[in-house]
Structure 1
Amino acid sequence: MAKSPLKKVAAETVPSPKASKNLPTPIKKLTPGSPKLALRQKDDVIASITDQCSAYREEAESSANLMLAWKAKHDAVVTLLEESMEALAMQTKAINGKGMVNEDNRDHLTVRQNSIALVTFDKQLLEEKVGVMHTSEDESASQPCKGKIHQLQEKLAAKQQQQSQSAQQLEGVGVSLPQGVLQRKASTLNQIHRPFATSFGDEVHLD
C-alpha cells in the first residue's frame, strides 16, 4: 500500500506554513547542556507534529467529504440529463410515428380522391355513350318507318293521280255511267287505299 502524504508530513521536523490556527506556538531553542529541557523540547515537537497531522487529516477528510458531495450532485445531474434525453428521444419517436401515419393517410386520401375523380369522369363518359346509343337506336328504329311512310305516300299519290287521269278520260270520251256504278267504284277504291289514306288523314272520294 502506498504511503499517504500525511505520513510524509509527520516525518518532517519543521512545521508547514499551512498549519492550522489550533497548532501550538513554535518552540524556542533551548540552550545546550540541559537534558530535561532537551527531553521537554522533544516531547513538545512530537506533540506539535501530532497536532499538525490531526489538523491535516481533518482537513483532508473535509475535502474528501466535499468531493463526495459534489460527485453525488454531479451524478444526480447526469442521471437527470440522461432521463430527460431518453424522454425527449421517446417523444421525438412518437412525433415521427404520428408524422408518418399522417403522411400515409395523406397519401391514401390523395389516391382515393384521384380514384373518385376517375370514376366520376368514367361515369360522365358512360352517360354520354348511353345517350348516343339511345339516339342511334331511335334514329335506326325510326328510319325504316320513315322510309315506309315515304313509300306509302308515293304510292298513294300515284293512285290518286291514276284516278284523276281515269276520271278525266271518262269525261273526255263522254261516257255516262250510272251513279250507282260510280259509287261502288269509289267505295272499292277507298277500301283498297284506306290503309294508306288513314295514315295521312286523306281519303279518296270519287263522287
Structure 2
Amino acid sequence: GKLKRADSHRQRGAATAAPAQPPSASALPSWGSGFLSTPSSSSPRACPQSALLLRRQLAELNKNPVEGFSAGLIDDNDLYRWEVLIIGPPDTLYEGGVFKAHLTFPKDYPLRPPKMKFITEIWHPNVDKNGDVCISILHEPGEDKYGYEKPEERWLPIHTVETIMISVISMLADPNGDSPANVDAAKEWREDRNGEFKRKVARCVRKSQETAFE
C-alpha cells in the first residue's frame, strides 16, 4: 500500500533535489507535515479506545512534526497501519538515507506494542533480513524469560509513536550488538565497521534515496 500523496512528494522532490541530495533531517518537517494523512470519519471497526488514541497521536504529529521522521496512514480508513519515513541520523553511517517502514498496531494497543518492519532495505544488527525491527521498546511487556532485558526496558502503555521512533533513530545511531536480529550485520559491525559493514550501509543509503517516494 502506498500513501495517496506519494505522487506529489515525488514531483516536489524531483523539482527541488537530485537523488544524490536527499532531504535533510531539518527539512523533514516541512514535507513531513504534508505526508500525514487524516483518517476519514467512517473509521475502521476497532476498539474505540485504541482507535481514539491512534487518531490523537496522528493529529499531534501532524500539528507538531518531530524532526527526523514523518508518519501517516497507509490507508485513510485503517488507523492500525502506519507508514513512516525516517531520515538517517546525521554523523552516522545512515546519514542521508530516507528509510520507509510500516507500523502495525494490535487492536488492544497500547496494552501491547506495534510491530515495525522496514520496507526499504537496511543493513543493521537490530533489523532482521526480513526488515523486522528488534528493539526492547517493541517487545511484549513483562519479564524477559532469557533475562537480557529489564521489564522497564520493554513495552509500556505510556509509549507513543513518537517515543518508538526516537528509539529507532537512536538504534540507527548506536546499534545494540549484544542482542542482534541480524547476526551477520552484528559481526561486521563489531569486526569490520569501517570496511564491509560501512560499504553495505552506504549501498542501502543510496538505494533508499532512489526509492524514497515510490
TM exceeding 0.5:
no
- TM-score (norm. length: structure 2): 0.17
Q: TM-score, normalised by structure 1?
A: 0.18
Q: Which entry has the higher C-alpha Rg, 1 or 2?
A: 1
Structure scoring higher RCO (CA < 8 A, sep ≥ 6) equals 2
Q: Counting helix residues as a fraction of each chain, which structure ranks higher? A: 1
